[in-house]
């Protein structure tokens, strides 16, 4: 089962933090900025009088052993913020000095290993938005949703320059662009969990998009996938009329249950039989298979589930399973041919039905 995580990866100044925060607000779920964790470690090293650029692995291990980091809310309605050793560093973590040192800290294998359990532990909060540079590849490779957010180097430099406290005094567009390029090089070539796009991540280049456009695109992607992966469960109480002389459900009724489920699944997907018929498409059954495992009886409460297992050309295969509690009573499938009701000839599977294919 995949982790209930919306993973957003990408290079510096690509808009990850802003989009992740807005996404969490729109969905009413927690937002975790993993970059803040590395900033927190850099902040702690400076507080100990240690230089992140020359500190030894042993010194880092000693500091980590004496460090407590958590995500907490300052007030009940506030967003989650980094708390380190009982202190909320707040804006101190967003200084140019800490930001630069965080990139160095993120290359340290012992720091990444120490923070990994903390990051993965955030999944206990339920669905979360987590952003960073290796969320979809290393932290949550099984994340339910993955996005790789980027923009052109020039656009990213302009964004970083406009962010208060993120650049040093006197910074220019050219100097910020050089710093971003150096950061990209370091993040992409580090030995541990380098910055890269997960193979199954949705690529989002928002160079020419406003924040609202990026947000809406990602929300649409999430809602569409949620709808596709929503499992339809049809609950049915066996009436006396469904049983035979032996007091068990008559065998042919299981095919009726399959049909009841198909109808419910299509309605849930916004594509009912009635709608398809209005569009001139019929789906007659051309093959039906039912394998019987156990018997159902009068007043048993059945759960019927299934999925679109195959859809190509003009044919659709829908699998079904009938359960009573933990017992599988029957499973099987039906194969349908899509037909143009006006001509009586085969027609291609509707695009909306293809989206149900998992």
Domain ranges of the chain: 3-229, 234-354
Mean pLDDT of the chain: 89
Least confident range from 23-27, 158-162, 297-301: namely: 158-162
Helix axis angle, 109-121 relative to 57-65, nearest 10°? 30
Query: What is the predicted pLDDT for the residue at 182?
Result: 83
Residue 352 has which token pair? 């909306």
Please report, rounded to a whole number, the percentage of residues in the chain having pLDDT higher than 70.
95
Calpha distance 43→320 (Å, rounded): 56
The answer, yes or no, to whether residue 167 has pLDDT greater than 60, is no
Per-residue model confidence (pLDDT) at position 122:
87
Helix axes 35-47, 57-65, angle to 10 degrees: 100
- Residue listed under structure tokens 């690509």: 14
Which CATH code of 1.20.1290.10, 3.10.129.10, 3.40.50.150, 1.10.357.10 fits the domain covering 234-354? 3.10.129.10
For residue range 5-51, list pLDDT tens digits in order: 999 999 988 999 999 999 999 998 889 999 899 999 999 999 999 99
Bridge-based pairing of strands 80-84 and 281-282 is unpaired
pLDDT digits (tens, 9 = 90+) for 247-292: 999 999 999 999 999 999 888 877 788 888 988 999 999 999 999 9
Q: Which stretch of 112-116, 179-183, 333-337 has the lowest confidence by average pLDDT?
A: 179-183
Residue from 272, 273, 257 nearest 324 by CA: 257
**CA 200 to CA 197: how far, in whole Å?**
8
Mean pLDDT of 80-107: 90
Percent of the chain with pLDDT over 90: 59
Distance of CA 81 to the CA centre of its chain: 22
Distance between CA atoms of residues 141 and 73, nearest Å: 27
Q: What share of the chain is helix, strand, coil (3-state, %, to 5)?
A: 40, 25, 35
Residue 70, Cβ neighbours under 10 Å: how many?
13
Whether the predicted pLDDT of 85 surpasses 90: yes
**Class of the CATH domain delimited by 3-229:** alpha beta
Cα 314 from chain centre: 32
Give mean pLDDT, residues 72-86: 87
Distance (Å, whole) CA 5 – CA 171? 36
**Residue 345: pLDDT band with limits 50, 70, 90:** very high
Q: Is the pLDDT of residue 357 over 70?
A: no
C-alpha Rg value of the chain to the nearest Å? 27
Contact between 176 and 157 under an 8 Å Cβ cutoff? The reply is: yes
Residue with more model confidence, 233 or 1: 233
Specify the pLDDT at position 168. 55
pLDDT confidence tier of residue 187, bands split at 50, 70 and 90: confident
Contact criterion met (CB below 8 Å) for 148 and 204? yes
Are 69 and 93 a contacting pair, CB within 8 Å?
no
Buried-exposed string 5-21: b where 16+ CB fall within 10 A, e elsewhere: bbbbbbbbbbbbbbbbb
Residue 312: band (very low, low, confident or very high) from pLDDT cuts 50, 70, 90? confident
User: Which range, 90-94, 150-154, 200-204, is most confident?
Assistant: 200-204
- What is the b/e burial string over 328-355, where b = at least 16 CB atoms within 10 angstroms of the residue's CB? ebbbbbbebbbbeeeeeeebebbeebeb
Paired sense of beta strands 315-324 and 327-337, if any: antiparallel
Residues 136/198, Cβ–Cβ less than 8 Å: yes
If you average pLDDT over residues 213-225, what whole number do you get? 91
Q: What are the structure tokens assigned to 283, written together?
A: 């789906």
């Amino acid at each position: 089962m995949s982790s209930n995580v919306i993973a957003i990866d990408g290079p510096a100044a690509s808009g990850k933090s802003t989009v992740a925060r807005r996404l969490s607000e729109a969905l009413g779920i927690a937002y975790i900025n993993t970059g803040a964790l590395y900033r927190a470690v850099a902040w702690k090293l400076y507080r100990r009088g240690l230089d992140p650029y020359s500190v030894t692995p042993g010194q880092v291990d000693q500091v980590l052993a004496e460090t407590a980091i958590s995500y907490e809310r300052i007030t009940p309605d506030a967003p989650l913020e980094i708390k380190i050793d009982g202190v909320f560093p707040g804006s101190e973590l967003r200084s140019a000095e800490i930001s630069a040192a965080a990139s160095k800290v993120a290359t340290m294998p012992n720091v990444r290993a120490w923070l990994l359990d903390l990051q993965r532990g955030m999944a206990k909060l339920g669905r979360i938005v987590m952003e960073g540079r290796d969320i979809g590849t290393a932290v949550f490779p099984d994340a339910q949703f993955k996005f790789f957010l980027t923009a052109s180097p020039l656009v990213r430099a302009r964004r970083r320059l406009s962010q208060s406290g993120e650049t040093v005094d006197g910074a220019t567009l050219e100097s910020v662009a050089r710093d971003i390029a150096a950061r990209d090089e370091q993040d992409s070539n580090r030995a541990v969990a380098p910055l890269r796009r997960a193979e199954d991540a949705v690529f989002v280049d928002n160079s020419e998009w406003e924040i609202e456009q990026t947000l809406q695109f990602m929300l649409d992607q999430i809602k569409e996938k949620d709808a596709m992966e929503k499992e339809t469960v049809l609950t049915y109480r066996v009436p006396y009329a469904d049983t035979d002389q032996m007091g068990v459900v008559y065998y042919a009724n299981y095919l009726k249950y399959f049909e009841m489920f198909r109808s419910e699944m299509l309605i849930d997907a916004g594509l009912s039989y009635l709608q398809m018929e209005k569009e001139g498409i019929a789906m007659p059954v051309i093959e039906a298979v039912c394998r019987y495992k156990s018997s159902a009886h009068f007043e048993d409460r059945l759960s019927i589930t299934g999925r679109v297992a195959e859809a190509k050309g003009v044919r659709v295969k829908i699998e079904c399973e009938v359960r009573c509690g933990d017992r599988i009573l029957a499973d099987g499938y039906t194969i349908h041919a899509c037909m143009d009701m006006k001509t009586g000839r085969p027609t291609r599977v509707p695009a909306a039905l293809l989206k149900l294919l998992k």
